[in-house]
Amino acid sequence: MTKIIKYFIFTICLVLTFLVVFQRIQLRAENKQGSNYPLSGKRAGVWNDGQAALWDLNILDHYRLFGSPERARGYKPEQPINFSHVTHVQEKGIECQFCHWNVAKSPYAAIPEVQTCMGCHSIIAGTSEEQKKEINKLKDYSSKGEPIPWEKVHVMPDYVRFNHKRHVKAGVACQSCHGQIPEMETVERVSSMKMGWCIDCHREQASSIDCYVCHK
């Protein structure tokens, strides 16, 4: 009987070790890919690979075994228009805050209004057929006067109080939390954004870890 228990524990340890080693190798490979965004020589990446600790297995997040997929690392919903941050930020050099204009002024980061897009796209029609098709969708929303139904990529539970302004003012870069957005054709959630992840950075940056700071 005790022998069976021993084997059982041994097998569990083996599997856990494998999971940890596997994800480390995977993350290292991801980080080695480097960045071609001109502002950062190396892939600045996600803070601590978006993990709270070694045992906060992002594999669990990644493969969506627990919790809702909307709140897991790797969530990458399809959008109503194939809007690309690569074209707009990396190639055309538009600043984040040109579109997400209130990120330094309020707790929330605005998703730009159709009018903001049309400021350029009433003139810019796109080069390739694919681009023209997507930009025409944008024009349709504009002429109908409807907002574009973007899918939200980062969702916090209701009981969490998050504040963009405080982070931007404190000099925390967008990429520490959102990863290399300028390289994303489709925005993907790259951090676990679990409580441990928030707290780890708050400890490191000597900001508050009082419960009421983040919870209502």
Give the side-chain half-sphere CA count within 13 A for 106.
8
Q: Does 88 bind ligand HEC (CB under 6 A)?
A: yes
What is d(CA 184, CA 188) in angstroms, rounded to the nearest whole number?
7
- Binding to ligand HEC, residues 116-175 (CB under 6 A): 116-117, 119-121, 124, 126-127, 131, 134-135, 138, 150, 152-157, 160-164, 166-168, 170, 172, 174
Which single residue is written with the structure tokens 């003139």?
123
The CB-of-67 to ligand HEC minimum distance in angstroms stands at: 7
3-state secondary structure of 69: helix
Phi, psi (rounded to 5 degrees) for 36: -110, 15
- Residue 179 CB neighbours (<10 A): 23
The CB-of-12 to ligand HEC minimum distance in angstroms stands at: 23
Interaction mask 11-50, ligand HEC, x per CB under 6 A: ------------------------------------x---
3-state secondary structure of 88: helix
- Binding to ligand HEC, residues 184-213 (CB under 6 A): 187, 193-195, 197-199, 201-202, 205, 207-209, 211, 213
Residue in 6, 24, 28, 92 binding ligand HEC, rule: CB under 6 A:
92
What is d(CA 182, CA 180) in angstroms, rounded to the nearest whole number?
5
Nearer of residues 3 and 159 to ligand HEC, judged by Cβ: 159
